[in-house]
Amino acid sequence: MPLLYNLLFPVFFLLSAPYYFWKLWRRGGWQEGFGERFGRVPGEKAGALAGHKVLWLHAVSVGEVNVCLQLIAALRPRMAGWKFLVSTTTSTGMGELAKKLPADVTRIYYPVDFPWSVRRALDAVRPAAFVLVEAEFWPNFLWQVRDRGVPVLLANARVSDKSFRGYRRAGFLFRELFSNFAAVGAQNDADAARLRELGCRTDAIHVTGNAKFDAAAPLAAGGLDVPGLLQQVGVPAGAEVLVAGSTHAGEEVLLAQMVRRLRQRFPKLFLVLVPRHFERTKTIVEELRPTGLRLALRSELAAGQTFAPGTVDCLLVNTTGELRHFYRHATVVFVGKSLTAKGGQNPIEPAALGKAMVFGPHMENFRPIAAEFVACDGAMQAADAAGVEAALASLLTDAVRREQLGANARCVVQRNQGASERTAEMIATCLCK
C-alpha cells in the first residue's frame, strides 16, 4: 500500500500545486517557514527540543490552534518535563500561533506528505508522541511515526458525513492506520461510533466532548477597539450591527441584499462582513458593487482613514484573527457557510459571548452542536435566505428576544465545557504510565 500511495501522491501534488501555491501567494507571507513545509526544521527550533521528551500536536488551522492552546494549558501540570511542539498547515493558523502560543512552545509548518520531507521533519523533532487535533490524516506521516514506535493520539475527533464516506471508501488505506491510534478522544457518541466503524479500537475510544467549547471562553477586557473602528466608518450611536462571520462565496451578496431591504425598517442597520478567506476581498468588492451597498475595508481603517457619518453601509473585514472581537459588539450574528456552502462554521464563539445568532440549513460540520443550540432556544436556524432574513428582522425588532436567545446560547456553552481537561487526562494517562 505505501508503494501505491507514493506513486500516486506526487501526481496529485503536481496537479494541485498551482492552486496550492496560488493560495499561499494570495494570502501573503508565504516565504516565511516555506522550507518547513518540506521538512526543513530550522536549527534553532530543533535545538530547543533536543534532549527533551517532545509532544508534537498538529492543528490544521485557526480553530484547531485554539483547541491546542487549551490542551497545552491543561497538559502542562500533568506532563512536567515534556516539551511541546505545535504544527499547522495554514498561514492563518501560524499567525494565531505566533500571537497566542507561549514563548517556550515551538511552532512549525506541518510537512507535505512526501516520505523524504516527513522523514526530515521527524529526524529534526524526534517526538516521543504525536497528537492529531480533530482530523487530517496523512498516510506517510502516520506510517513513519508508527515505524518509529511513536504513539499517535487523536484529540477532539469528529467525522463529518463527507469524511466518513471518504474514509470508508478508502478503508483499504485508512483502516489499518486508524487501528494504530493509542487513544482517541471523540466529541460525541456519534463520532465515537463512526471512528469505531472506521477501524479505531473500542478500548482506545473515549467520549471527551468538544474542546471548542473551552476555546471559546469569553474575551478578556481590552483588545481590538471595535467601537472605535465603527466610529471611524461613521456608524451612529445606537445603530444595530449585524456581524456575518466566516462567510463563503455567494453569502456576501445575499446578506447585502437583505440589509438593503431591512434598512427600510431599521435605517441605522450596519453590516460587518468577515469572510472566511480574506484573500477573496477583491472578488467580494466586485460582487457587492451592483447591490449599491457602500463599503469600507478594515485595512483602510488600520491606515487611519475615516469616513463621514452615513457614507458607509458595510465594513468588509479583510484582516485575520479579529472575528471574535467583532462578535462581541454585534446586535445579531449570522454564522457563515450555512446558506450557499455546506458544512457551516463554528457557532460556539458568538454563543460564548451571549449573542443572538442565526444560521442557514447547512451546519453539517457542527450538526450536534447546532442542533443543541436550536433545541435549547439558543439559536435560530432557517431553511433558506428568505428565512434568514425573516429571523434577522424578528431579532432586530425584539431586544428582549435577543437577550433571551443569547443567554440560552451561553448556558449551552457553559454546560459543555471541560472537554480540554478530559482530553488532557486521556493523553497524560496514555503517555505517562
Residues recognised as catalytic: 64
Print burial letters for 69-105: b (CB count within 10 Å at least 16), e (below 16): bbbbebbeeebeebbbbbbbbbbbbbbbbeeebeeeb
Strand partners, 130: 56, 152
Give the distance, in angstroms, between the CA of residue 68 and the centroid of all CA atoms in the same chain.
11
Q: Which residues contact 31 (CB under 8 A, 6 or more apart)?
A: none
Residue 318, burial from CB neighbour count under 10 angstroms (0-12, 13-18, 19+)? buried
Report the interhelical angle of 171-179 vs 189-198 (nearest 10°): 110
Residue 244 burial by Cβ neighbours in a 10 Å radius (0-12, 13-18, 19+): buried
Q: Which of 187, 182, 136, 191 is nearest to 423 (CA)?
A: 187
Pull the grid cell for residue 392. 434577522
To the nearest 5 percent, what fractions of the chain are helix, strand and coil? 50, 15, 35
